[in-house]
Amino acid sequence: MTQIPDPNSVSAPSEPARPRERRQRVQAAETGMAVLKGLGRLGGRASLTLLAAQVDESPAKVHRYLVSLMEEGLVAQDAATQQYYLALEAMLLGLAALRQADPIRLAEPSLVRLREGLEVTCFIAVMGNKGPTIVRFEEPGLPVTVNVRMGSVLSMLWSATGRVFLALQDDARVRALAEAELARAPAELRAQLDAADPIGRLRHQVLAEGCATVRDTNLKGISAVSAPLLNHNGRPCAALTALGATGGFDASADGPIARAVRREAEAASVLLGYQAP
Protein backbone atom coordinates (compact mmCIF):
# COMPACT_ATOMS: atom_id res chain seq x y z
CA MET A 1 0.00 0.00 0.00
CA THR A 2 1.37 3.42 -0.97
CA GLN A 3 2.05 5.57 2.01
CA ILE A 4 1.00 9.19 1.74
CA PRO A 5 3.66 11.40 3.31
CA ASP A 6 2.70 13.77 6.04
CA PRO A 7 2.99 17.33 4.68
CA ASN A 8 4.41 18.42 8.00
CA SER A 9 7.23 15.87 7.85
CA VAL A 10 8.32 16.25 4.22
CA SER A 11 12.00 17.25 3.93
CA ALA A 12 12.52 20.65 2.39
CA PRO A 13 14.14 20.53 -1.05
CA SER A 14 17.65 21.79 -1.34
CA GLU A 15 17.65 25.58 -1.68
CA PRO A 16 18.71 27.06 -5.01
CA ALA A 17 21.53 29.55 -5.07
CA ARG A 18 20.32 32.80 -3.65
CA PRO A 19 20.04 35.59 -6.22
CA ARG A 20 21.76 37.99 -3.84
CA GLU A 21 24.74 35.65 -3.38
CA ARG A 22 24.95 35.12 -7.12
CA ARG A 23 24.87 38.87 -7.68
CA GLN A 24 27.55 39.39 -5.07
CA ARG A 25 29.80 36.91 -6.86
CA VAL A 26 29.27 38.74 -10.16
CA GLN A 27 30.05 42.07 -8.52
CA ALA A 28 33.23 40.59 -7.10
CA ALA A 29 34.28 39.44 -10.56
CA GLU A 30 33.49 42.87 -11.99
CA THR A 31 35.58 44.58 -9.32
CA GLY A 32 38.47 42.18 -9.88
CA MET A 33 38.37 42.84 -13.62
CA ALA A 34 38.20 46.60 -12.97
CA VAL A 35 41.38 46.36 -10.87
CA LEU A 36 43.11 44.34 -13.59
CA LYS A 37 42.05 46.74 -16.36
CA GLY A 38 42.98 49.72 -14.21
CA LEU A 39 46.47 48.32 -13.86
CA GLY A 40 46.61 47.94 -17.63
CA ARG A 41 45.52 51.55 -18.19
CA LEU A 42 48.33 52.69 -15.89
CA GLY A 43 50.88 51.01 -18.12
CA GLY A 44 50.87 47.63 -16.39
CA ARG A 45 52.61 48.80 -13.21
CA ALA A 46 51.43 51.05 -10.37
CA SER A 47 51.43 51.61 -6.63
CA LEU A 48 48.44 50.57 -4.54
CA THR A 49 47.47 54.20 -3.93
CA LEU A 50 47.55 55.12 -7.62
CA LEU A 51 45.66 52.00 -8.64
CA ALA A 52 42.98 52.59 -6.00
CA ALA A 53 42.50 56.12 -7.31
CA GLN A 54 42.33 54.82 -10.88
CA VAL A 55 39.46 52.41 -10.10
CA ASP A 56 37.82 54.71 -7.51
CA GLU A 57 37.97 52.20 -4.66
CA SER A 58 39.60 52.23 -1.24
CA PRO A 59 43.21 50.96 -1.06
CA ALA A 60 42.16 48.27 1.44
CA LYS A 61 39.53 46.91 -0.94
CA VAL A 62 41.85 47.01 -3.94
CA HIS A 63 44.53 45.22 -1.93
CA ARG A 64 42.17 42.32 -1.22
CA TYR A 65 41.54 41.88 -4.92
CA LEU A 66 45.22 42.19 -5.73
CA VAL A 67 45.97 39.33 -3.34
CA SER A 68 43.52 37.11 -5.26
CA LEU A 69 44.94 38.19 -8.61
CA MET A 70 48.45 37.43 -7.35
CA GLU A 71 47.37 33.96 -6.30
CA GLU A 72 46.15 33.35 -9.87
CA GLY A 73 49.40 34.60 -11.40
CA LEU A 74 47.77 37.59 -13.10
CA VAL A 75 49.52 40.18 -10.92
CA ALA A 76 52.84 40.26 -9.04
CA GLN A 77 54.46 42.71 -6.65
CA ASP A 78 57.91 44.22 -6.97
CA ALA A 79 59.72 43.59 -3.69
CA ALA A 80 61.91 46.67 -4.11
CA THR A 81 59.27 49.27 -5.01
CA GLN A 82 56.15 47.54 -3.64
CA GLN A 83 54.44 48.34 -6.92
CA TYR A 84 52.07 45.86 -8.53
CA TYR A 85 52.50 44.79 -12.14
CA LEU A 86 50.89 42.50 -14.69
CA ALA A 87 52.40 39.03 -14.39
CA LEU A 88 52.87 35.98 -16.58
CA GLU A 89 49.24 34.82 -16.79
CA ALA A 90 48.14 38.31 -17.86
CA MET A 91 50.83 38.33 -20.55
CA LEU A 92 49.70 34.93 -21.81
CA LEU A 93 46.12 36.18 -22.03
CA GLY A 94 47.31 39.22 -23.96
CA LEU A 95 49.32 37.11 -26.38
CA ALA A 96 46.33 34.84 -26.97
CA ALA A 97 44.19 37.90 -27.75
CA LEU A 98 46.84 39.30 -30.10
CA ARG A 99 46.90 36.04 -32.04
CA GLN A 100 43.19 36.56 -32.71
CA ALA A 101 43.73 40.15 -33.90
CA ASP A 102 43.54 39.46 -37.63
CA PRO A 103 43.03 42.86 -39.32
CA ILE A 104 41.28 41.36 -42.33
CA ARG A 105 38.74 39.44 -40.26
CA LEU A 106 38.17 42.22 -37.73
CA ALA A 107 37.77 44.91 -40.40
CA GLU A 108 35.26 42.97 -42.52
CA PRO A 109 32.20 44.42 -40.71
CA SER A 110 33.58 47.92 -41.34
CA LEU A 111 34.07 47.05 -45.00
CA VAL A 112 30.48 45.88 -45.33
CA ARG A 113 29.11 48.95 -43.53
CA LEU A 114 31.04 51.24 -45.88
CA ARG A 115 29.79 49.42 -48.95
CA GLU A 116 26.18 49.44 -47.79
CA GLY A 117 26.16 52.87 -46.21
CA LEU A 118 27.98 54.76 -48.97
CA GLU A 119 27.25 52.43 -51.90
CA VAL A 120 30.86 52.57 -53.00
CA THR A 121 33.52 50.04 -53.89
CA CYS A 122 35.82 49.43 -50.93
CA PHE A 123 38.63 47.11 -49.97
CA ILE A 124 41.25 46.18 -47.38
CA ALA A 125 44.92 46.16 -48.36
CA VAL A 126 48.07 45.08 -46.57
CA MET A 127 51.69 45.91 -47.30
CA GLY A 128 53.23 43.19 -49.44
CA ASN A 129 56.71 42.67 -50.86
CA LYS A 130 55.96 44.69 -53.98
CA GLY A 131 53.64 47.27 -52.44
CA PRO A 132 50.12 47.62 -50.99
CA THR A 133 48.15 44.53 -51.96
CA ILE A 134 44.35 44.15 -51.95
CA VAL A 135 43.27 41.20 -49.81
CA ARG A 136 39.50 41.82 -49.40
CA PHE A 137 37.23 43.50 -51.94
CA GLU A 138 33.57 44.59 -51.73
CA GLU A 139 31.42 46.11 -54.48
CA PRO A 140 28.01 47.81 -54.29
CA GLY A 141 25.00 46.76 -56.33
CA LEU A 142 26.12 48.97 -59.22
CA PRO A 143 29.89 48.56 -59.14
CA VAL A 144 32.32 51.05 -60.62
CA THR A 145 34.43 49.45 -63.33
CA VAL A 146 38.04 49.50 -62.17
CA ASN A 147 40.98 47.29 -63.06
CA VAL A 148 41.82 46.37 -59.47
CA ARG A 149 40.77 43.17 -57.77
CA MET A 150 41.91 40.79 -55.07
CA GLY A 151 45.69 40.52 -55.26
CA SER A 152 46.19 43.79 -57.13
CA VAL A 153 49.32 45.70 -56.11
CA LEU A 154 48.79 49.45 -55.79
CA SER A 155 51.05 52.43 -56.26
CA MET A 156 52.86 53.86 -53.25
CA LEU A 157 52.58 57.46 -54.46
CA TRP A 158 49.52 57.67 -56.67
CA SER A 159 47.00 55.53 -54.76
CA ALA A 160 45.33 56.65 -51.52
CA THR A 161 46.15 53.24 -50.04
CA GLY A 162 49.86 53.55 -50.84
CA ARG A 163 50.02 57.03 -49.35
CA VAL A 164 48.62 55.73 -46.07
CA PHE A 165 51.43 53.17 -45.77
CA LEU A 166 54.00 55.71 -46.91
CA ALA A 167 52.92 58.16 -44.22
CA LEU A 168 52.59 55.80 -41.28
CA GLN A 169 54.98 52.92 -41.94
CA ASP A 170 58.44 54.30 -41.21
CA ASP A 171 60.28 51.68 -43.21
CA ALA A 172 63.23 51.98 -45.58
CA ARG A 173 61.69 49.46 -48.00
CA VAL A 174 58.47 51.49 -48.25
CA ARG A 175 60.43 54.68 -48.86
CA ALA A 176 62.54 52.94 -51.52
CA LEU A 177 59.42 51.80 -53.38
CA ALA A 178 58.07 55.36 -53.34
CA GLU A 179 61.36 56.86 -54.53
CA ALA A 180 61.55 54.34 -57.38
CA GLU A 181 58.01 55.29 -58.48
CA LEU A 182 58.84 58.97 -58.28
CA ALA A 183 61.93 58.52 -60.45
CA ARG A 184 60.02 56.85 -63.28
CA ALA A 185 56.79 58.91 -63.01
CA PRO A 186 55.81 61.12 -65.97
CA ALA A 187 56.22 64.87 -65.57
CA GLU A 188 52.47 65.54 -65.27
CA LEU A 189 52.22 63.27 -62.21
CA ARG A 190 55.35 64.64 -60.58
CA ALA A 191 53.97 68.14 -61.08
CA GLN A 192 51.12 67.30 -58.69
CA LEU A 193 53.58 66.88 -55.81
CA ASP A 194 55.66 69.37 -53.87
CA ALA A 195 58.80 70.05 -55.88
CA ALA A 196 61.10 70.54 -52.89
CA ASP A 197 60.02 67.52 -50.82
CA PRO A 198 57.40 65.41 -52.66
CA ILE A 199 57.43 62.40 -50.35
CA GLY A 200 57.82 64.35 -47.13
CA ARG A 201 54.95 66.66 -48.01
CA LEU A 202 52.68 63.72 -48.84
CA ARG A 203 53.47 62.10 -45.49
CA HIS A 204 52.79 65.32 -43.62
CA GLN A 205 49.42 65.81 -45.33
CA VAL A 206 48.20 62.27 -44.57
CA LEU A 207 49.27 62.50 -40.93
CA ALA A 208 47.55 65.87 -40.55
CA GLU A 209 44.26 64.74 -42.13
CA GLY A 210 44.15 61.18 -40.75
CA CYS A 211 43.53 59.79 -44.21
CA ALA A 212 44.82 59.92 -47.78
CA THR A 213 42.83 61.14 -50.77
CA VAL A 214 43.46 61.00 -54.52
CA ARG A 215 41.62 62.23 -57.60
CA ASP A 216 42.43 60.80 -61.03
CA THR A 217 46.01 59.89 -60.16
CA ASN A 218 46.23 56.12 -59.88
CA LEU A 219 43.27 55.53 -62.22
CA LYS A 220 41.79 58.13 -64.54
CA GLY A 221 38.20 58.98 -63.59
CA ILE A 222 38.54 57.32 -60.18
CA SER A 223 38.90 58.98 -56.78
CA ALA A 224 39.63 57.28 -53.47
CA VAL A 225 39.92 57.80 -49.73
CA SER A 226 41.98 55.55 -47.48
CA ALA A 227 42.63 55.38 -43.73
CA PRO A 228 44.98 53.16 -41.69
CA LEU A 229 44.14 50.23 -39.44
CA LEU A 230 46.52 50.52 -36.48
CA ASN A 231 47.60 47.66 -34.23
CA HIS A 232 48.32 47.73 -30.49
CA ASN A 233 51.70 49.35 -31.18
CA GLY A 234 50.14 52.11 -33.25
CA ARG A 235 51.67 50.75 -36.44
CA PRO A 236 49.65 50.36 -39.66
CA CYS A 237 48.81 46.74 -40.34
CA ALA A 238 46.28 47.37 -43.13
CA ALA A 239 44.42 50.15 -44.91
CA LEU A 240 40.69 50.60 -45.45
CA THR A 241 39.88 52.26 -48.78
CA ALA A 242 36.75 53.48 -50.55
CA LEU A 243 36.73 54.47 -54.23
CA GLY A 244 34.31 55.64 -56.85
CA ALA A 245 33.85 57.55 -60.11
CA THR A 246 35.30 61.03 -59.64
CA GLY A 247 32.14 62.79 -60.83
CA GLY A 248 30.01 61.46 -57.98
CA PHE A 249 32.62 60.74 -55.33
CA ASP A 250 33.54 63.36 -52.71
CA ALA A 251 37.22 62.73 -52.03
CA SER A 252 37.74 65.77 -49.80
CA ALA A 253 39.44 65.02 -46.50
CA ASP A 254 36.57 66.61 -44.54
CA GLY A 255 33.74 65.17 -46.66
CA PRO A 256 31.21 62.49 -45.64
CA ILE A 257 33.09 59.64 -47.33
CA ALA A 258 36.39 60.49 -45.65
CA ARG A 259 34.67 60.86 -42.28
CA ALA A 260 33.01 57.46 -42.68
CA VAL A 261 36.26 55.77 -43.75
CA ARG A 262 38.17 57.27 -40.81
CA ARG A 263 35.41 56.30 -38.40
CA GLU A 264 35.35 52.68 -39.58
CA ALA A 265 39.15 52.47 -39.61
CA GLU A 266 39.26 53.77 -36.04
CA ALA A 267 36.63 51.24 -34.95
CA ALA A 268 38.60 48.36 -36.47
CA SER A 269 41.83 49.69 -34.91
CA VAL A 270 40.25 49.55 -31.46
CA LEU A 271 39.44 45.88 -32.06
CA LEU A 272 43.10 45.35 -32.97
CA GLY A 273 44.15 46.72 -29.57
CA TYR A 274 45.00 50.27 -30.58
CA GLN A 275 44.50 52.97 -27.96
CA ALA A 276 44.71 56.57 -29.09
CA PRO A 277 47.19 58.62 -27.06
CATH at 111: 3.30.450.40
Q: In the prediction, which pLDDT does 247 show?
A: 85
151 in the same domain as 190: yes
C-beta of residue 222 within 8 angstroms of C-beta of residue 244? yes
Q: 99, 125, 143: which is the final residue of a domain?
A: 99
Q: In the prediction, which pLDDT does 13 show?
A: 45
Q: In the prediction, which pLDDT does 210 show?
A: 94
Cα gap 103→126, rounded to integer Å: 9
Q: Tell me which residue range forms the domain holding 222.
A: 101-272
CATH number of the domain enclosing 45: 1.10.10.10
Please write the tens of the pLDDT for every residue from 184-222.
Answer: 988 888 888 888 999 999 999 999 999 999 998 877 888
Q: What is the pTM of this model?
A: 0.66
- Whole-number percent of the chain with pLDDT over 70: 87
Cα gap 267→257, rounded to integer Å: 15
206 in the same domain as 107: yes
Calculate mean pLDDT across residues 254-269: 95
Angle, helix 198-209 to helix 160-168, in steps of 10 degrees: 90
What does DSSP say about strands 222-230 and 132-138: parallel, antiparallel, or unpaired? unpaired
- Whole-number percent of the chain with pLDDT over 90: 45
Please write the tens of the pLDDT for every residue from 1-46.
Answer: 444 444 444 444 444 545 545 555 577 888 889 999 898 888 889 9
Q: In the prediction, which pLDDT does 190 show?
A: 87
Residue type, position 236, single letter: P
The answer to the question of residue 160 being in a domain is yes
SS3 194: coil
72 in the same domain as 116: no
Please write the tens of the pLDDT for every residue from 120-177.
Answer: 889 999 998 889 999 988 887 766 666 677 788 999 999 999 999 999 988 888 999 9
